[in-house]
Structure 1
Amino acid sequence: MSDISSATMAAPTGPQMPKPRADAAATAREFEAVFIGQMTKLMMEMVETGDEFSGGHGEEMFRGVLAEQMGNEIAKRGGVGLAPAVLDQIIKMQGGRR
């Protein structure tokens, strides 16, 4: 009886599914942050500011920055549930499985 090496005992391998890129989850969170920032910006534009509380030209300039930062913070604290759906689509587009 001949010795069988462990190399010949290896299980056959089928086609390997590509693994999702490591930064796919971060990309999904960033997408959600941008989306929330844009929604926040639109909501802020709908609010009428009176003359008593108007920040003038400075407020107008930095309103977009404020909306962007609010979007980042909301997404960082759990967001609105968009990131998991986006991550699933990224993985599907890469041909992988979660």
Structure 2
Amino acid sequence: MTTVNSTPFSIAQNHGIQANLSKEEQARQAAQEFESVFLSQMLSGMFEGTGQDEFGDSYAQNTYRSLLTETYADEITKSGGIGIADSVMRELLSAQEVEQ
């Protein structure tokens, strides 16, 4: 069995979170990214079941819808979100304290 030695912070660093930030800032960024992805998944259901418009149900339109839901999720997260990021950040910080 192979074990992987990684922490939430090492994973976050591999996903473009800057290494020069403090552990708390890194945790905040990772938590906000998580909340944004979660919201994007929840918002994607908003377009399910919508009828075809004058452009039809094309690949381009589906791609645009995907980008639109990601943008909505990012903006919701930037404006305070729904509280998931705060909970995730607390868990990330407490997990790091346990490791030390």
Sort the TM-score into its range (normalised by shorter chain): 0.5 to 0.7
Identity over aligned residues, as a percent?
32
Query: After the TM superposition, which residues 25-64 of structure 1 pair with which residues of structure 2 at under 5 Å, given as runs?
Result: 25-45=28-48, 47-49=49-51, 51=52, 53-56=53-56, 57=58, 58-64=60-66
Q: Give the RMSD, CA atoms, in angstroms.
A: 1.8
| Unmatched 5+ stretches in structure 2 | 1-21
For 1:70, the aligned partner's letter is Y
| Rounded Cα–Cα distance in structure 1 between residues aligned with 2:84 and 2:75 | 14
Deviation track 1:16-57 (CA, whole Å, cap 9, x = no partner) reads: xxxx71311111111111110111112222x422x4x34321
| Rounded Cα–Cα distance in structure 2 between residues aligned with 1:61 and 1:23 | 30
Aligned residues: 74
Tell me which of the two structures has the higher relative contact order, counting C-alpha pairs closer than 8 angstroms and 6 or more residues apart: 1
| Unmatched 5+ stretches in structure 1 | 1-19
> 4+ runs of 1 displaced by more than 4 Å?
none
Secondary structure of the equivalent of 1:23? helix
| Rounded Cα–Cα distance in structure 1 between residues aligned with 2:27 and 2:70 | 21
Larger Rg: 1
